[in-house]
Amino acid sequence: MFAALTPFLAAFAFLSEEGGHEVHAGDGGALAQWAWLIVVVPVVITFLIVFFGKKSPLKGWGMATFGMAFVAVYGAVLAWVNLQEGILYEGAIDIGKIGPFALQWGWVVDGLSIMMYFLVGIVGFLVFVYAKGYMKGDVRYTWFFAAFSLFAGGMLVLVSAPNLIQLIVGWELVGVSSYLLIAHYWEDFDNVDAGNKAFMTNKIADVGLFIGAIIMALSAGSFQFSEIFSRMIEGHTLLAQFGFWAGLALFIGAMGKSAQFPFHVWLPDAMAGPTPVSALMHAATMVTAGIYLIARLFPFYQMPEFAGNVDSYIVVIGAITLFFMGLLAIVQDDIKKVLAYSTVSQLGYMMAAMGVGAYSAGLFHLFTHAFFKSLLFLGAGSVIHAVHSNNMSDMGGLRKYMPATFWTFLIGTAALIGLFPFAGFWSKDEIIASAYYNASTDPTAAAWFMVILSIAGAFITAFYMARAVSLTFFGEYNGHGHPHESPKIMTIPLMGLAAFAAFAGFLNMPGITETFIEWVTVRAFPISEHHFTAPNWALISIVTPIVLIALGIGFWLFRPKETQAARDTFDIPVLYPLLEHKYYIDDFYMDGIIRPTMGPLADGTLWIDENIVDAVPNLAGGAAKHVAAAVNTVDQNAVDGVYNSVSAGTGAAGGFLRKALTGRVQQYAAMSFAGVVIIAALFMIF
In this structure, the dihedral spanned by the alpha carbons of residues 216, 40, 517 and 86, taken in order and rounded to 10 degrees, is -100
- Residue 393 carries which side chain, given as an amino acid letter? S
Distances from the Cα of 447 to the Cα of 191, 290, 312, 418, 454, angstroms: 39, 21, 8, 22, 11
CB 105 within 8 A of CB 42: no
Distances from the Cα of 71 to the Cα of 16, 74, 195, 588, angstroms: 34, 5, 27, 42
CB 364 within 8 A of CB 516: yes
Q: How far is the CB of 652 from other proteins (least distance, A)?
A: 16
The answer to the question of residue 684 lying near other proteins (CB under 8 A) is no
Q: Which residue's CB is nearer to other proteins, number 626 or number 659?
A: 659
Q: Which stretch binds other proteins (CB under 8 A): 6-14, 601-609, 614-622, 665-673?
A: 665-673
Distances from the Cα of 681 to the Cα of 559, 670, 671, angstroms: 137, 16, 15
Phi then psi for residue 94, to 5 deg, are: -75, 130
DSSP bridge pairs for 93: 105
Residues 409-448 that bind other proteins (CB under 8 A): none
Q: Which residue's CB is nearer to other proteins, number 627 or number 669?
A: 669
Instruction: Determine the angle formed by the axes of helices 164-182 and 237-257, rounding to 10 degrees.
Output: 10
Q: Which residue's CB is nearer to other proteins, number 617 or number 651?
A: 651
Q: Which residue's CB is nearer to other proteins, number 11 or number 653?
A: 653
Please give the Cα distance from 520 to 686 (Å, whole number). Answer: 116
Report how many residues bind other proteins under the rule CB under 8 A: 10
The answer to the question of residue 606 lying near other proteins (CB under 8 A) is no
Q: How far is the CB of 654 from other proteins (least distance, A)?
A: 10
Q: Which stretch binds other proteins (CB under 8 A): 115-123, 199-207, 481-489, 666-674?
A: 666-674
Q: Which stretch binds other proteins (CB under 8 A): 168-176, 458-466, 496-504, 656-664?
A: 656-664
Q: In the set 99, 481, 573, 663, which binds other proteins (CB under 8 A)?
A: 663
Q: How far is the CB of 662 from other proteins (least distance, A)?
A: 6
Q: In the set 616, 662, 682, 686, which binds other proteins (CB under 8 A)?
A: 662
Is the torsion defined by CA of 311, 312, 313, 314 positive or negative? positive
Please give the Cα distance from 561 to 672 (Å, whole number). Answer: 129
Q: Which residue's CB is nearer to other proteins, number 620 or number 679?
A: 679
Q: Which residues of 83-93 are buried (b: 16+ CB within 10 A; e: fewer)?
A: beebbbbbbbe
Q: How far is the CB of 650 from other proteins (least distance, A)?
A: 16
Please give the Cα distance from 510 to 435 (Å, whole number). Answer: 15
CB 187 within 8 A of CB 145: no
Q: Which residue's CB is nearer to other proteins, number 200 or number 669?
A: 669
CA Rg, the chain, in Å?
35
The answer to the question of residue 664 lying near other proteins (CB under 8 A) is yes
Burial class (CB in 10 A: 0-12, 13-18, 19+), 139: exposed
Q: How far is the CB of 636 from other proteins (least distance, A)?
A: 34
Return the HEC string of 125-190: HHHHHHHHHHCCCCCCHHHHHHHHHHHHHHHHHHHCCCEHHHHHHHHHHHHHHHHHHHCCCCCCHH
Please give the Cα distance from 648 to 654 (Å, whole number). Answer: 10
Q: Which residue's CB is nearer to other proteins, number 534 or number 679?
A: 679
The answer to the question of residue 572 lying near other proteins (CB under 8 A) is no
Q: Which stretch binds other proteins (CB under 8 A): 160-168, 207-215, 314-322, 669-677?
A: 669-677
CB 406 within 8 A of CB 399: yes
Q: How far is the CB of 658 from other proteins (least distance, A)?
A: 5
Q: How far is the CB of 673 from other proteins (least distance, A)?
A: 7
Q: In the set 574, 612, 638, 661, which binds other proteins (CB under 8 A)?
A: 661
The answer to the question of residue 666 lying near other proteins (CB under 8 A) is yes
Q: Which residue's CB is nearer to other proteins, number 96 or number 654?
A: 654
Q: How far is the CB of 667 from other proteins (least distance, A)?
A: 9
Q: Which residue's CB is nearer to other proteins, number 3 or number 665?
A: 665
Q: How far is the CB of 677 from other proteins (least distance, A)?
A: 10
Q: Which residue's CB is nearer to other proteins, number 6 or number 666?
A: 666
Q: What is the DSSP string of 68-104?
A: HHHHHHHHHHHHHHHHHH-B-EEEEEEEEEETTEEEE
List own/partner pairs for 103-106 with CB under 8 A and 24 or more apart.
103/165, 104/162, 104/163, 104/165, 104/166, 104/224, 105/166, 106/160, 106/161, 106/162, 106/163, 106/166
Q: Which stretch binds other proteins (CB under 8 A): 14-22, 67-75, 315-323, 668-676?
A: 668-676
Q: How far is the CB of 682 from other proteins (least distance, A)?
A: 20
Residues 479-508 that bind other proteins (CB under 8 A): none
Please give the Cα distance from 664 to 228 (Å, whole number). Answer: 98
Residues 236-255 that bind other proteins (CB under 8 A): none
Q: How far is the CB of 625 from other proteins (least distance, A)?
A: 48
Q: How far is the CB of 659 from other proteins (least distance, A)?
A: 9
DSSP bridge pairs for 96: 103
Please give the Cα distance from 102 to 110 (Å, whole number). Answer: 22
Q: Which residue's CB is nearer to other proteins, number 533 or number 666?
A: 666
Q: How far is the CB of 678 from other proteins (least distance, A)?
A: 15
Q: Which stretch binds other proteins (CB under 8 A): 19-27, 207-215, 486-494, 657-665?
A: 657-665
Select from 146, 140, 85, 87 the least CA-distant residue to 117.
87
The answer to the question of residue 665 lying near other proteins (CB under 8 A) is yes
Q: Which stretch binds other proteins (CB under 8 A): 93-101, 373-381, 407-415, 662-670?
A: 662-670
Q: How far is the CB of 664 from other proteins (least distance, A)?
A: 6
Please give the Cα distance from 310 to 352 (Å, whole number). Answer: 12
Q: Which residue's CB is nearer to other proteins, number 574 or number 660?
A: 660
Assign 260 to helix, strand or coil: coil
The answer to the question of residue 55 lying near other proteins (CB under 8 A) is no
Q: How far is the CB of 648 from other proteins (least distance, A)?
A: 20
Q: How far is the CB of 681 from other proteins (least distance, A)?
A: 16
Q: How far is the CB of 668 from other proteins (least distance, A)?
A: 9
Q: Which stretch binds other proteins (CB under 8 A): 66-74, 474-482, 519-527, 661-669?
A: 661-669
Q: Which residue's CB is nearer to other proteins, number 24 or number 664?
A: 664
CB 45 within 8 A of CB 66: yes
Q: Which stretch binds other proteins (CB under 8 A): 209-217, 332-340, 623-631, 660-668?
A: 660-668
The answer to the question of residue 673 lying near other proteins (CB under 8 A) is yes
The answer to the question of residue 658 lying near other proteins (CB under 8 A) is yes
Please give the Cα distance from 56 to 45 (Å, whole number). Answer: 13
Please give the Cα distance from 159 to 176 (Å, whole number). Answer: 16
Q: Which stretch binds other proteins (CB under 8 A): 148-156, 340-348, 522-530, 655-663?
A: 655-663
Please give the Cα distance from 182 to 168 (Å, whole number). Answer: 21
Residues that bind other proteins (CB under 8 A): 658, 661-666, 669-670, 673
